Structure 1
Amino acid sequence: MAGSSHYIMPRAEFDDAPKLLIVISPYYKDIADNLLAGAKAEIEAAGGTHEVIEVPGALEIPTAIGIAERMSNFDGYVALGCVIRGETTHYETVCNDSSRAIQLLGLQGLCIGNGILTVETQKQAEVRADVNDQNKGGGAAAAALHLIALARKWSVARKGVGFTNDILMAGKTDGSSTA
């Protein structure tokens, strides 16, 4: 809709800098570069740090995030890429499967901002990726940062509630675990 606007939440704030992994598919290099610039600027403006890895296509983005979650220590993730409709059903497969996989990772507790553009034309992608226009890369980073802030808020509330490893280890003097 021309002339319509949408609400943008205030930037998330942190006491301890969040560390994010940006996973990007540079299949459309110029679009990817703009998405990346927007994401980096948003993370840095919130006082966060980031690392960037590249994968061949949008379908590999969720897999890379899953690997990083298992093997590293990131607070959150930003998924960046672009899928432009072609003449075959491959577009629907890539759009649906990458989005569904990212959503499933999110439901498992990962803080992910999804900035994979799914568009009809190159021009639509350019407008959405442009940091001075729709800035979807910055928006994806902002989404990840807000989820990190929410996860941190709730994790603080749970500290000391229920059984913890410290309670289970109480009385153990040899350093062995109870599990």
Structure 2
Amino acid sequence: MKDADKGVAGELDGHDLRIGIVQARFNAALTEKLYETCKAELQALGVSPKHIRHVTVPGALEVPLALQAMAELKEYDALIALGCIIRGETYHFELVANESGAGVTRVSLDHGTPIANAILTVENDAQAWARAGEKGRDAARVAVEMANLLEDLS
């Protein structure tokens, strides 16, 4: 395979990166676990604590608007969305899951800012707890990798 045919991946070096995190407070214990593991992984990847901006919003539907406000500042190399939507007995689950996901994607594409979407959409509390730590770490890694990739591609 020629080098030109190989995919290019971003590095997992977070030094000098500025990362914004928007955390939904609904299902607070779960989203706090997402945040704590995300923050710890960002720091393990070299992101300085002073370069991590953390804001909270009421729920998953409010996450995209806060992300948009942060993206418009042009101060962040990547953003991270944290939340947890647990299926209930009504259609509300689908509405919140679909609209929050679409909003996160739209902000990323509209602003050319990588956003790691770690808004969990699960059936029950057990599934949420089983994923909270792993997805928080994954979000940190995705944010750092994509910030570096976009820098390399520009």
Superposition TM-score, scaled by structure 2 size: 0.86
- For residue 59 of structure 1, give the secondary structure of its aligned residue in structure 2: helix
Change in 2 beyond 3 A, CA 1:23/1:110: same
Which residue is 1:128 aligned to? 131
- The correspondence of residues 52-67 of structure 1 with structure 2, limited to 5 A, is 52-67=54-69
Q: Which of the pair is proportionally richer in helix?
A: 2
Deviation at 1:17, TM superposition (A): 1.4
What are the superposed Cα offsets for residues 74-114 of structure 1, whole Å, 9 maximum, x if unpaired? 11111001000011111001000111111122223111000
Aligned to 2:101: 99
What residue in structure 2 maps to residue 24 of structure 1? 23
Question: Is the CA contact (8 Å cut-off) linking 1:11 and 1:142 kept in structure 2?
Answer: no
| Residues 31-46 of structure 1 mapped to structure 2, 5 A cutoff | 31-46=30-45
For 1:86 and 1:61, locate their aligned partners in 2 and report how far apart those are by CA, in whole Å. 20
Contact 2:10–2:148 at 8 Å: present in 1 too? no
Partner of 2:4: none
Asked whether the equivalents of residues 24 and 59 of structure 2 are also in contact (C-alpha less than 8 Å), the reply is yes
Ranges of 4+ aligned residues in structure 1 off by more than 3 Å: none
The CA RMSD measured in Å over matched residues stands at 1.7
User: What is the CA-CA distance between 1:72 and the residue it aligns to?
Assistant: 5.1
**TM-score using structure 1 length:** 0.75
Assess if the C-alpha contact under 8 Å between 1:11 and 1:46 holds in 2.
no
Taking the aligned partners of 1:37 and 1:10, their CA distance within structure 2 comes to 24
Aligned residues: 142
User: Mind listing any 5+ residue stretches in structure 1 that lack a counterpart?
Assistant: 1-8, 156-179
Could you give the per-residue CA deviations for residues 118-177 of structure 1, whole angstroms, max 9, x where no partner exists?
Answer: 000011001101x3xxx101111211111101111112xxxxxxxxxxxxxxxxxxxxxx
Larger radius of gyration: 1
Give the Cα–Cα distance (whole angstroms) in 2 for the partners of residues 70 and 106 of structure 1. Answer: 11
Q: Which runs of 5+ in 2 are unaligned?
A: 1-8
Tell me the distance in 1 between the aligned counterparts of 2:10 and 2:40: 15
Pairwise CA distance, 1:11: 6.2
Distance 1:95 1:149 in 2: 28
For 2:57 and 2:67, the matched residues in 1 are separated by 10
Between the two proteins, what is the percent identity of the paired residues? 36
- 1:115 maps to which of 115, 118, 123: 118
Q: Secondary structure at 2:60's aligned position in 1?
A: coil
Q: Given the alignment of the two structures, is residue 12 of structure 1 paired with residue 12 of structure 2, yes or no?
A: yes
Work out which structure has the larger RCO, using CA pairs closer than 8 Å and 6 or more positions apart in sequence: 2
